[in-house]
Structure 1
Amino acid sequence: MSGMEKIFVYPEEVDAFAFDWGRLALTVGPEVNGAGRFSGGVVDLEKGQGHARHNHPGAEEIIFVIAGTGEQMVEDEEGNPVVHQVRPGCTIYVPESRYHSTLNTGEGPMQLFVVYSPTGPEQALRKLPDFRLVPAKG
């Protein structure tokens, strides 16, 4: 890959992490293009699917809703779950180490763009029991 190819990245051009609840295509990060302070990618959730409550110790996360609608839970400072209905255009900030979950409640697919800072939390996903690596197309 040339330097330009590493700057402009489409989800189908990178290996994806697949799970029973959906998939994550990391389009930016140390292993993709050398990004050192953050990583991120596109998450696809099918109708009725979502990821379970989890956190990323020592890392913050940004979730941006590209398409679809759903329920986003982010715990408050006391650990109480706060759930909001989200739709395209919504940006969700997940403070460092805070538990959160996403559920697609819409009639079709839900697509998100997620950013982790610092890098690393996404690699822990490889340890989940339903993890599958889907090779890039072409």
Structure 2
Amino acid sequence: MSGKHFVIETHEVETMLFDWGRIVMTCTPEVTGSAGFSAGIVEMQPGQGHDRHNHPGAEELIYVISGEGEQMVEDASGNPIVYTVASGSTIYVPESRYHYTVNTGKEPMKVFVVYSPPGSEKELRQLPDFRSVPPVQQPKR
């Protein structure tokens, strides 16, 4: 994709694949020129999720678009607090806080994530199961 755009289709950007699911980051400094945050769609298959991790120096906002799951966010003392989440749930993960998400339903779980500041999405490339699928070139409309 050349240049920065205001409207991004998922097929226009890379898909990041992992053993537990996929991420399509449709808003990053490289894609849109955003300076304060990055955002994208995460999809996890039933029974799948990502391990406990954190994003040093970044806050995260997660909105459940569809599906249901288990969300853990550690409190300020490091104690894990586990929530049941479903379509319509919003999860706030404070800066550098450890958390995980697991799809406990029978259908794919789709969430919209926002990282502030941007950059946490770059760390995902270091995971051992990371694979990249390049953007699909679609004919101009």
So what's the TM-score if we normalise by structure 1? Answer: 0.95
After superposition, residues 11-50 of structure 1 pair within 5 angstroms as: 11-50=10-49
Cα distance in 1 for residues equivalent to 2:104 and 2:87: 13
Aligned partner letter, 1:51: H
Give SS of 1:124's match: helix
Aligned partner letter, 2:82: V
Aligned partner letter, 2:81: V
Q: How many angstroms does 1:13 deviate by?
A: 1.9
- Matched with 1:95 is 94
C-alpha distance 22-8 of structure 1, shift in aligned 2 (>3 A): same
Cα distance in 1 for residues equivalent to 2:64 and 2:44: 11
Give SS of 1:33's match: coil
Q: Where in structure 1 do 4 or more consecutive aligned residues deviate above 4 Å?
A: none
Give SS of 2:34's match: coil
- Matched with 1:82 is 81
Cα distance in 2 for residues equivalent to 1:11 and 1:48: 24
Q: How many angstroms does 1:11 deviate by?
A: 1.8
Cα distance in 1 for residues equivalent to 2:42 and 2:14: 13
Bigger share in helix: 1
Cα distance in 1 for residues equivalent to 2:24 and 2:104: 21
Aligned partner letter, 1:77: A
- Matched with 1:62 is 61
Identical columns (%): 60
Give SS of 1:123's match: helix
- Matched with 1:124 is 123
- Matched with 2:52 is 53
Structure 1 unaligned runs (5+)? none
- Matched with 2:107 is 108
Q: How many angstroms does 1:2 deviate by?
A: 7.3
Query: How many pairs are equivalent?
Result: 137
C-alpha distance 50-85 of structure 1, shift in aligned 2 (>3 A): same
Cα distance in 1 for residues equivalent to 2:135 and 2:106: 28
